[in-house]
Structure 1
Amino acid sequence: MENISGKYLFLKEGIFYFNRRVPKDLRPHYSSAKISYSLRTRSRAIALARANSASVKLDEYWYHLRSQDAELPGKHLLRHGLSRPASTNSKVVTPDVLTLSEGVLTYVRLKGHGRPKTFERAAHRSCGYVIDVCGDKPLSDYTKADANAFRDALVKRGLTGSSVTRIFGTVRAVFNFAAAEQGLDITSPFSNVYYDRNAGVSERLSIPVEDIRRVQGKCRELDDEMRWLVALIADTGMRIGEAAGLLREDIQKSENGNWSVQVAAHPWRSLKTDGSKRVVPLVGSAKWAAERIHAQQGNSRFAFPRYNVSDKTNANSASAGLNKWLKTLAPKGATMHGFRHAVRDRLRAVECPADIADQIGGWQTEGVGQGYGNGYPVEVLRNWMRKAMA
C-alpha cells in the first residue's frame, strides 16, 4: 500500500510519529497545513500499520470533502462553501442557525483580537474534535448523547483528565458565545459532562532545596547556555517558555547593580495569561545567569539563541533537553516545572504574603481590588526573593 515504505513516518526520541501534508485544495478546511501526531509506539512495524490505516482514512475523508466541494448551483450563497448536513432531529432548523464550524469562526472573529495564535488554534482544534465525532451540525441539534460520545472519544484516545477538561472548556466557550450571538435560548449539552478529571494526571513535584543547590552548582560548573537557562528558572520560577524567549535587553541591570527581568509578550513567544506580564528581580543563581548572558559577545539579540532559530521560540525543545539532563541530578519525577512549584514553596517558607508571591510568579490573584494600581515596587519583591532564595 502507499504508506508501506514509511512515507508518512518520522522518528523523534525513539517514538514514531505520523506526518502528512494537507492537499492545497483542502487547506481551507484545516487550521494547519499538516497533520502530525504521535503513534505511541517504538516499533516500526506497528507504526507502519497505524500510519497506513490513518492514511487510508484521510484519503477517504478527503474524497468526501472534494465531493462536497463540487460545483453546485447557488454554492456562492452558502456561508462557507459546504452544504449543511440534514438535521437528525424532528424539529425544523432555520437556515440562520449557526453550525459549530460557523460558531468557531464567529468566536475567533469577535474574541480573537489581540489574542495569541494559540487562542484561534485551540478553538479550531477542540471544536474540530467534536465535528470529527458528532458531525458539523447546527448548534441546536447537538444533544447530551453527542457530548457523551465526544467525551468517550477523548478518553479512548488516552488523553489525561486535565486535557479533556481543557478541550471541553474551549468547546463550551465557543458554543455558548455563538449561541448568545444568535440569540438562541439553548443550554449547551457540553456542560456538566462527567469524566474522571484526575485520570492520568501526575502530580507536579516541587524540587527540594538541597537538590536545587546541587543543580545550581552543576550549572556553574558547566557554564553554558543550557545551564544559564536552568539557573535563571531555578531562582525565579519562570515558565520555561517565558525564559527561553527572552531578549538580552529584557534582562537589565539597574544603576545600583541590581538585576531584573522584564517578562512581556513577544511575536515569537506569547504569555499564558495577562497576569504573566511582570518584572521579576534576579537574585542567587538567576543573577549569575544574567551576568553570564550579558558577558557573551555574540551577535544574537536573544538571551538563549539556540531556542530561537525560527520565528517561534522552541520551548518544547528546551523542555525536553533540560528535563533529560535534570533527571541525573533531581529526584525521580522532577521536571523543570518543579522549580516553579519550589519557588512558591520557598516564598511560603519565609511567610511571604500571597499577593506578593502571585506578582513574582505571574499567578492569578483573586479579588476585584487586585486589579487596581501597579502592584508592589520591584525592590519590595527583591527583598522577599532574597529571603526565600538564600
Structure 2
Amino acid sequence: MSYPTHIICREGFFYYRMKVPVDLQPHFPTKFITKSLKTRDLSVAKTMLVNLEYAVKRVFTLLRTGILDEAMAKELVKEVSPTKQPIAAYTQALGKPAGPCLSKIIEQYMLEKQSEWTPKTKMEMDGVFKLLLDIQMDIDVTTITKQTMLDLRSKLMRLPANRYKRYPDQTIQQLLEMSDITPMSTKSVNKHIGGMAALLRYCTDEGIVPVNNATGLKLSEKKRADEDRSTYSVEDLKRIVANLPFDQTTPERYWIPLIACYSGMRLNEICQLYVADVQDVDGVWCFSVNDTKDKRLKNQASERMVPMHPKLLKLGMLEYVEKLRRSKAPRLWMNLTWMDIHGYSNGFGKWYQRFNREYVTDDAKKVFHSFRHLVTDTLKQAGVQDTVIAELVGHSHGSHAMTMSRYGKRYQPKVLLEALNLIDYGVEIRPWKG
C-alpha cells in the first residue's frame, strides 16, 4: 500500500518522516524528523499530516532568515523534533543496553525492508543477523566503534561456514578456540560485514548513530569473478549427455540441462517456463523469459527472448511442447513444484547436484551454473560481441547500458540466433522420444 508523502507505517502505526534540508541539518540532532502520529487510522494520520507539514515548513523558513540567535533556533527545533524519553536509567537497572539494542534495530530494519526483499533475500539476511547477534550479543548500537567492527570481522574470519548446521551445540567462543575447522570464505565474511554496514547505514539515516563504522571493511577477494565457478569441459558434456535419463515421467531431467547447455539461461528461468513461453517470433522459435504469473526475474535485464538452438529443435523440443499444448498442461515441467524461497528450481536443483557428482565430476566448482559459463565463454571465443552475449544471457550491457536503453532497441531474435548457431560442442545426443 502506498501512503501520502512524509507518512510511513511501522508495526501498524503511522509516523511523520521528513528529511531535513542539507543547509539546515546543523540545527537538528538527526537528518530526519520522525514523529509518531500515535494512530493506526490512515484518515486521522492524513489530518495530522497537514498541521505537521505547516509547522515544519514554518520552522525551516524561520531558520533560513538568519535573524534568530542560537537559543531561539534551538527552541524552534524543539517544536518539531521528537521528544526523547529518559530511558537510560531504567534500562541499565534491568541490565539492558542504555541505547537502542542491536536486536531491536535489526527487527525495525527488517520490517522496513521486507517489502523490497525477495523471500530468499529475507532468509539470507535472517541468517546473517542471527550470527551477528550471536557474536556481538545484544549490545547498544550507539557503542559500536570502528574497533568493534574490526573485532567482529576478525571473528568472522575464524568461524566456519554453516555454523548452525555443522556445529549446532558449540558456542561462538568454543568455535573460535577450535583449530581444526575450515573458516568461512572471504565472500561469506563480506556478506556479513555488508549486512552490518547496511544496518548501520539505516541507523545513521534514522539519527541513531552519527557515523557508519562498518564501511570500508570488506576483504579483498584475490580471485577473479570468472574463477568463482568453473566451466564444463567437452569431456564433462560427454558424460552429461551419456547419462541423461530418458524416463517419460521425468522429462525435465533430460531437457533442462540441454536447454542450459545451448542457451545459457539460469536454472530458475528454465524451471519456471510455461508452455505459452515457447513462442514463434518472426519465424524464430524462442523461450520468453518474463515475470508474469508466478515467475521471477533476477533483474530488469533478465527479461528477454532467447532463441531456441537448432540442436534443441533437432532433438524434439517442439514436439514435446506441442504434446503439452494438446494435453492443456500449463507449464513445461509439471513435476516441479513452486516454493516461496526458490521458485520452481528447488527440487530439480537438488536432483542435478546428485546427478552431477555421481556421473559428471567431483570438482566443487562445476555446478549447474557452469552451463552458463560454458555458453558465454564459447560465444566469447567465437568473437561474438559482448552486447549480444549480454542480451542472450540476461546481463546489462555494461558501460553501454544507458546508451542502449535510451537509443537502441533489443537485438532481433534472428541476430541472436546467428550467435547461438556458433555453439557446437561436437557431442552426439540421443533425441527425445515421447
| TM-score band, normalised by shorter chain | 0.5 to 0.7
Aligned residue for 1:262, secondary structure, equals: strand
* 1:156 and 2:156 correspond: no
Write the mapping of 1:217-366 to structure 2, written as runs, cut at 5 A: 219=244, 224-254=251-281, 256=283, 258-265=284-291, 268-287=294-313, 288=315, 290-291=317-318, 292-296=320-324, 298=327, 300-308=329-337, 313-327=343-357, 330-333=360-363, 334-366=366-398
User: Which residue type is aligned with residue 166 of structure 1?
Assistant: K
Aligned pairs for 1:361-372 within 5 A: 361-367=393-399, 368-372=402-406
| Partner AA of 1:235 in structure 2 | Y
Q: Which amino acid aligns with 1:361?
A: V
Q: Secondary structure at the match of 2:279?
A: strand
Q: Which amino acid aligns with 1:272?
A: K
Offset at residue 354 of structure 1 (A):
0.9
Matched, 1:173 2:198: yes
1:123 aligns with 2:153: no
Identity of matched residues, %:
17
1:122: Cα distance to partner? Answer: 3.1
Task: State how far apart, in whole Å, the 2-side matches of 1:112 and 1:310 are.
Answer: 18
CA offset at residue 341 of structure 1? 0.6
| TM-aligned CA deviation for residue 127 of structure 1 | 2.3
How far does residue 237 in structure 1 lie from its aligned partner after superposition? 1.2
Q: Which amino acid is the alignment partner of residue 421 of structure 2?
A: R
| Maintained 8 Å contact 1:245/1:308 | no
Question: What is aligned with 2:413?
Answer: 378
Paired residue total: 303
Gaps of 5+ in 2: 1-10, 12-84, 162-183, 426-434
Letter of the structure 2 residue corresponding to residue 130 of structure 1: L
The separation in 2 between residues aligned to 1:131 and 1:274, in whole angstroms, is: 34
The residue type paired with residue 323 of structure 2 is: A
AA of the residue aligned to 2:353:
N
What amino acid is the match of 1:295? K
Q: What letter is aligned with 1:380?
A: V
The answer to whether the 8 A contact 2:156-2:189 is kept is no
Cα deviation for residue 106 of structure 1 reads: 4.9
Write out aligned runs for 1:182-201 (5 A): 182=207, 184-189=209-214, 191-194=216-219
Aligned partner of residue 343 in structure 1, secondary structure: helix
State the Cα distance separating 1:324 from its structure 2 match. Answer: 2.5
Counterpart contact for 1:349–1:388, Cα < 8 Å: no
Q: CA deviation at 1:104?
A: 3.9
- What corresponds to 1:212 in structure 2? 237
For residues 65-80 of structure 1, the aligned pairs below 5 Å read none
Which residue in the other structure is 2:144 paired with? 142
What CA distance in whole angstroms lies between the structure 1 residues aligned with 2:305 and 2:260?
14
Q: CA deviation at 1:319?
A: 2.0
Counterparts of 1:20-59 in structure 2, within 5 Å, are none
SS of aligned partner of 1:124: helix
| 8 A contact 1:229–1:289 mirrored in 2 | no
Larger Rg: 2
Of 137-146 and 238-247, the range deviating more from structure 2 = 137-146
Q: Which residue of 1 aligns with 2:422?
A: 387
Deviation at 1:328, TM superposition (A): 5.3
Q: Are the aligned partners of 1:358 and 1:365 in contact in 2 as well (CA < 8 Å)?
A: yes
The 2-side partners of 1:343 and 1:242 are apart by 15
Residue aligning to 1:31? none
Alpha-carbon contact 1:165-1:197 (below 8 Å) kept = no
Judged with a 3 Å threshold, the aligned counterparts in structure 2 of structure 1 residues 129 and 332 are, in CA distance, closer, same or farther, namely closer
Q: Which amino acid aligns with 1:182?
A: G
Conserved? CA contact 1:103–1:175, under 8 Å: no
Q: CA deviation at 1:221?
A: 5.7
Q: Is the 8 A contact 2:379 2:419 kept in 1?
A: yes
After superposition, the Cα gap between the structure-2 partners of 1:190 and 1:155, relative to the gap in structure 1 and judged at 3 Å, is: farther
* Equivalent residue letter for 1:233: A
